[in-house]
């Protein structure tokens, strides 16, 4: 059907198109193999000629020779980062410390304090925090002024009791016994009540 319609293309491309579509397989074998269409498209878009289609070689890398001072500086920085990672105590701005506080013996003391406590206040009282969700005065001790649950580092609870306390606080908020964005109003009134 394409042969019956006159084409708007020049005659050379029409004859080439017709020859290819009607030719036999021997003609197709004589054609050069097609290159990758994507590579051809990129070559055309970038405006490079067919002669420059050879793959470009990366520029040779320059070798850097290290001086003994560079090697020594690298070793010092590696030792420094290793030493900083061994520091168990995190110093805050304004903390006063002596050189003795940076020794390994003092660092061991701080490492020991990081271990989870074996017992806590909840265990000493023999309470289950989940059953105490109605006690908003106890729950508010484990919340910040903005209504967030304090972390285990702040509360000092064992991981099990910390999870139970968090569950009880979320339950009290869900039931509506405690506000979710601040402390309980009765506790706030007691804190701000003028002393007579």
Averaged pLDDT for residues 95-105: 84
Q: What is the pLDDT of residue 118?
A: 83
Q: Which residue has the tokens 């729950």?
A: 139
**What does the pLDDT look like over 36-77, one tens digit per residue?**
777 777 777 776 555 555 566 776 777 777 788 888 998 988
Do residues 179 and 173 touch, judged by C-beta distance below 8 A? yes
* Max Cα distance, the chain (Å): 112
**Whether residue 7 has pLDDT greater than 60:** no
Confidence tier at 83 by pLDDT (50, 70, 90): confident
**Whether residue 11 has pLDDT greater than 90:** no
| pTM recorded for the entire structure | 0.43
Complete domains list, the chain, with CATH: 121-192 (4.10.640.10)
**Whether residue 15 has pLDDT greater than 60:** no
**What does the pLDDT look like over 160-190, one tens digit per residue?**
999 999 999 999 999 998 888 877 778 778 8
């Amino acid at each position: 059907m394409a042969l019956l319609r006159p084409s708007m293309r020049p005659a050379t491309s029409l004859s080439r198109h017709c020859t290819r579509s009607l030719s036999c397989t021997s003609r197709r074998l004589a054609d050069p193999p097609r290159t990758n269409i994507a590579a051809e498209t990129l070559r055309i878009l970038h405006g490079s000629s067919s002669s420059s289609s050879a793959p470009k070689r990366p520029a040779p890398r320059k070798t850097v020779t290290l001086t003994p001072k560079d090697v020594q500086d690298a070793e010092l920085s590696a030792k420094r980062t290793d030493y900083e990672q061994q520091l168990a105590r995190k110093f805050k701005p304004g903390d006063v410390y002596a050189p003795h506080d940076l020794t390994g013996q003092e660092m061991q003391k701080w490492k020991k304090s990081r271990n989870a406590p074996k017992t806590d206040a909840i265990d000493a009282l023999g309470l289950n925090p989940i059953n105490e969700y109605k006690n908003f005065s106890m729950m508010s001790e484990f919340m910040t002024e903005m209504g967030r649950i304090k972390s285990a580092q702040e509360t000092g609870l064992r991981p099990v009791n910390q999870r139970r306390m968090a569950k009880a606080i979320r339950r009290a908020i869900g039931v509506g016994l405690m506000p979710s964005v601040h402390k309980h109003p009765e506790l706030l009134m007691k804190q701000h009540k003028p002393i007579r």
